[in-house]
Amino acid sequence: MRKIIVQKFGGTSVADTDKIKNVAKVVIREKQNGNDVVVVVSAMGHTTDHLVKMAKMLSPNPSSREMDMLLSTGECVSIALLTMAIQAEGYDAISFNAMQVGIMTENIHSKARIVDIKTEKLRKNLEAGKIIVVAGFQGVTEDGEITTLGRGGSDTSAVALAAALGAERCDIYTDVEGVYTTDPRIVPNASKLAEVSYEEMLELAHAGANVLHPRSVETAKQFSVPLRVRSSFKLEDMGTLILGVDKMELYRPVAGVAADLSQARIVVCDVPDKPGIAAGLFTALAEENISVDMIIQSYARKVSNTNDIAFTVDSNDLPKTLATLDKLKDTLGASDVKVDAEIAKVSIVGAGMIDRPGIASTMFETLAKLGVNIRMISTSEIKISCLVDKTDAQKSLKALHTVFNLESDVVADVKGDLPDV
């Protein structure tokens, strides 16, 4: 049976007709490899911005249903144009919007989740030898309402299509060459990872590495779809393969380091050490739709029978957070609320750290030698994060990148027999 490859091209890859012609060549190359090809595309370059601008000129607060009707047109333009470009090269191709395919979502506008993808029309057209071009970012409800999938939606469309079709692989073509050990703008000798696990990718994404939207990685993980992130302009570069940790040889404890400078720390001081206090606080924040990242509760002080609760939120949520705390001040009985926005979260991520002791201590020692004061620590199975002063972020990142040997990509090739593109 022929293998199915799903390819996804973002807005910068289809920004103008010349770039669309380039994408057509990349698509055809995969078809020439003997694979069936399903292509997912985003809206051209600045189309979405232009549409949003017009909407804002007509309404201060346009309804999310009509925004979805509006924004979904961008992808419908790209799919038709790319299909024409492929046909012009002599290959049979056909475009479908989400409604035509049956990319079924929840009935929620602007951030719907895919619940099902009909594959009948896709399979019929693949069997007829056609290259299929599908509109990313959009879906449709049972009632025929058009929805969009929110940020990173086209990546999610591609991964979900790959899962539904049992595709061999999902290639995400983008304007970067792959996933790096850290942000090359901060650490110039960051190196590209040949492979990374879904879990590491998720932690890196949440820690500030924005190559793929976490939702698409979660979907790939859930359905074990191998993902490849690669450049549409450097085809000889195989990019980074993202796959299950079970399929990797864990030769390295740390896959990458990341810094997140968008957080703010809040310390609620001297709250009574009794059950329900923390629960009340974080439930109230959740009700306001505020995501809390790190949480530390100190040991209770024996004399006063109080403790401190420290946590971090996105800086944008700071005003809302303080307003919520103000409403709770009688219940909390706190002596003070301290806020610090001049902080950074520095993280090391690696599926290999699970079985290797000493990784955390190496991190702490490295920061200590630099004279960096650690304000908070949080750990998961594959990530260790330290909250430091914002001014210490860059040197911390560089030092950690060096100490964990991330300069050169020593990663072995993928095990097994993955097809080349």
**Contact set with its own copies (CB under 8 A):** 17, 20-21, 51, 54-55, 57-60, 62-63, 65-67, 69-70, 72-73, 76-77, 79-81, 83-85, 87-88, 94-95, 97, 99-100, 121, 144-146
Q: Is-contact 204 196, C-beta < 8 A?
A: yes
The CA distances from residue 407 to 91, 175, 187, 391, 410, in Å, are 43, 22, 10, 23, 9
- Exposure letters 85-119 (e unless 16+ CB within 10 A, then b): bbeeeebebbbbbbbbbbbbbeebbbbbebeebee
Q: What type of residue is 334? A: A
- Give min distance, CB of 18 to its own copies, in A: 8
- Give min distance, CB of 118 to its own copies, in A: 11
Backbone angles phi, psi at 134, to 5 degrees: -115, 140
- Give min distance, CB of 274 to its own copies, in A: 49
CA angle 224, 227, 232 (to 5 degrees): 165
What length is written for the chain? Answer: 421
Any residues with CB less than 8 A from the CB of 132 and at least 6 apart, and which?
Answer: 37, 38, 39, 93, 94, 95, 96, 122, 125, 126
Rank residues 77 and 278 by Cβ distance to its own copies and give the closer one.
Answer: 77
- Give min distance, CB of 64 to its own copies, in A: 11
- Give min distance, CB of 165 to its own copies, in A: 19
220 pairs with which residues across the strands?
Answer: none
- Give min distance, CB of 209 to its own copies, in A: 34
Rank residues 55 and 418 by Cβ distance to its own copies and give the closer one.
Answer: 55
Q: How far apart are CA 148 and CA 400, in angstroms?
A: 39
- Give min distance, CB of 34 to its own copies, in A: 25
Q: How far apart are CA 372 and CA 56, in angstroms?
A: 45
Rank residues 63 and 224 by Cβ distance to its own copies and give the closer one.
Answer: 63
Environment class of residue 167 by beta-carbon count within 10 Å: exposed (0-12), middle (13-18) or buried (19+)? Answer: buried
Rank residues 125 and 312 by Cβ distance to its own copies and give the closer one.
Answer: 125
Q: How far apart are CA 219 and CA 204, in angstroms?
A: 16
Q: How far apart are CA 82 and CA 304, in angstroms?
A: 69
Rank residues 55 and 295 by Cβ distance to its own copies and give the closer one.
Answer: 55
- Give min distance, CB of 28 to its own copies, in A: 14
Rank residues 85 and 325 by Cβ distance to its own copies and give the closer one.
Answer: 85
Rank residues 87 and 366 by Cβ distance to its own copies and give the closer one.
Answer: 87
- Give min distance, CB of 143 to its own copies, in A: 9
Rank residues 64 and 362 by Cβ distance to its own copies and give the closer one.
Answer: 64
Q: How far apart are CA 146 and CA 183, in angstroms?
A: 36
CA angle 139, 144, 150 (to 5 degrees): 25
Rank residues 66 and 340 by Cβ distance to its own copies and give the closer one.
Answer: 66
